Every structure is written in C-alpha cells, then in structure tokens.
Amino acid sequence: MFIELKKIKRKFKKQSGQVAIIVGVMLAALVGMLAYVVDTGNIYESRRSFQTVADAAALAGAQELPNAAAAEQAAVEYAQLHEVPPEGITVSVESTFVANDTIKVTAQDLNKELFFGGIFGNNTTPVGADAAAIIGSPSFVNNIVPFGILADDWVPGEEYELKWGPPGNTGNFGALALGGPGANNYRKNIREGYPGNLQIGDVVETEPGNMRGPTLQGTNDRIYNYADYTFNSFEELTDLVNGKYVLKNSSDSQFVMCPLIDWVPNGRDEVTILAFVPFIITGVTGHKVFGTFIDRALIITDGSIAPLNEHGLVIIRLQH
C-alpha cells in the first residue's frame, strides 16, 4: 500500500510540471494575441485616418488640374496641414482620358510605432493609404434651364447675362426649346429644369422671340415658389474657400446649369451643346435674366464621366 502511494505521488509531480509548462505556453500565446489585437487595431485606425487625408488631398489637388505643378503643390500642402510627414507624401499627375486629368496621392507614416511589437522584435511598421482623383466633363446632365449661352472667359463671382433682350437682329435672345417648342414648355423648363438628359454634342432648337412674359413668370416661379421663398444674394448662397466659390446647397432653386451653345442663329434653328456651365441667378429684369458664375468645378459622385471639355462644368471624382 505504501509503495502504491509513492507511485501515485510521483505521477502527480510529473503532471504538475507538465501543467506548469502548458500554462506558461498558454500565457505567452495569450500575451501574443493581445499584442497582435492591440497593434492591429491601432494600425487599422491609422490606415483609416491616412485614407481620409489621402482622399481629401487628391480632391484638393484635382481642383487645380490640368495644371500639374499647382495640383501637386495643393495636394502636398493639404497632407502636410494634416500632419503627414514630408517623407510620407508622394504625389503624381497622370493622364487617363486627356493630358493631366488624374492625380494620385500616397499619405503614410513609414515608421508607425507599435505598442507591443517589440515583443516580437519589431517596434515600427509602415502605415498609409493611396487615393486618386480625376477631372472630366459629365456625360449627361439633367434639370438644365433653357438659356443658351455663348463661350466667355467667365470669372467666378462676376455676373453675366443668361437670357438677354432687345436690341438684337437675330430673332433669338438666348431661349431654347428643350423637349419641344412653345411658351408653356419654355416657362416650365425654367421653373423646374428640363427633365430629360442632355449631353455634350446634342443638337437642340432655339426658341425665337423675346419671350418676356414666360421668362419672367418661369424665373419668378422657380425662385419664389421653393424652399425659403426668398431671393438670396450670391454671398448668401456660397462660401469663399481657398479662393474658390463653393455652393452651400446644390438644391437651391437659384442654382442653375446652362447649356453652352455654338452659335446664335436667326429665328428657329438648331444649335449644338458644347458644355454645361454653372451659375446662380442673381437678377431678373423682365426679358433679362442675370447669373453669377460660381466656378468651373463641382464635386459630384454619380453619373458617368467623359473626357474633360475646356468649357463649363467639371466633375471632380475619387477613383476607387
């Protein structure tokens, strides 16, 4: 009996040693897992932060395209403003559809410190993100107002005639027959915007005559029968950010997009749409409608994109 007890004690002593080894291994594994989870979470949050900065820097730079030097400088300045170290910023301008229409940005920290990485002999790791933005023209646009305008060297913040009046000897004063002729259709298109999709290269007809009544009625309905029923100033509807006018609310009824046409014929005739140009209606005097040019660039995210056109509306979009 005494011999059997001694054998049992020796057996338990051996097992207790094995348990200690197993517990030690499990604790080491647990610490390793904890270190991995903490550092992985930290890296993930850093990468997400860098992605936000890279996206914004690419959009900031794209607003200067196709000027490659200015675009690169704007992107770098934005990234540095958000504490990305100079050695962690890489910017390049490339061509997708036309020359210098795409900017690519990398924002990173090459030596991101780890909380527990030293346990495994690695105290730092590179963390960062890439982004690309492209500029182009919209393939199509809807809710266009029926004011055909001619090419000009538009200056943001300056007022221009969108629909003009007499004197004139062509019989046309900027009115377009979008979707069909007639005063009622013309007035409705001013009030609500033409519901169909229009694209660069489309051929449309002019609406001849001064159209004083429909112009005044449609414009007044557009402005005063919406949201705040108030005619707002250009300054009330925009913010001046880094020298550029930014529209506060793209759904405001005073914001309009006009088709840029190739010529003004005599009487009813066909014209070709060359581009779409954004304005804010800032004046109405009977047969005349005035609009203040907001900018050539608007950031939008939906709809297809076409190669950049030298005139009018420009899309700035992140590439994913």
Q: What is the pLDDT of residue 273?
A: 93
**pLDDT tens per residue, range 64-91:** 899 999 999 999 999 999 878 888 899 9
**pLDDT tens per residue, range 42-54:** 666 778 888 999 9
**pLDDT tens per residue, range 171-185:** 899 999 999 999 999
**Percentage, residues of the chain above pLDDT 70:** 77
Name the phi and psi angles at 265, rounded to 5.
Answer: -80, 180
Beta strand 314-319 with 297-298 is: parallel
**pLDDT tens per residue, range 134-162:** 999 888 888 999 999 998 888 899 999 99
Angle at 253 between CA 252 and CA 254, to 5 degrees: 95
Does the pLDDT at position 258 exceed 80?
yes
Which candidate, 248, 250, 275, places its Cα nearest to that of 261?
A: 275
Query: pTM for the complete prediction?
Result: 0.70
Q: What is the pLDDT of residue 103?
A: 96
Q: 225 or 261, which is more confident?
A: 261
pLDDT classification of 252: cutoffs 50, 70, 90: confident
Q: What is the pLDDT of residue 91?
A: 95
Give CA–CA dist 34/52, Å, rounded: 27
Q: What is the pLDDT of residue 11?
A: 55
**pLDDT tens per residue, range 268-314:** 999 999 988 999 999 998 789 999 998 766 766 667 788 887 777 88
Q: What is the pLDDT of residue 226?
A: 61
Q: What is the pLDDT of residue 9?
A: 53
> What is the domain partition of the chain in residue ranges?
2-136, 159-302
Q: 39 or 222, which is more confident?
A: 222
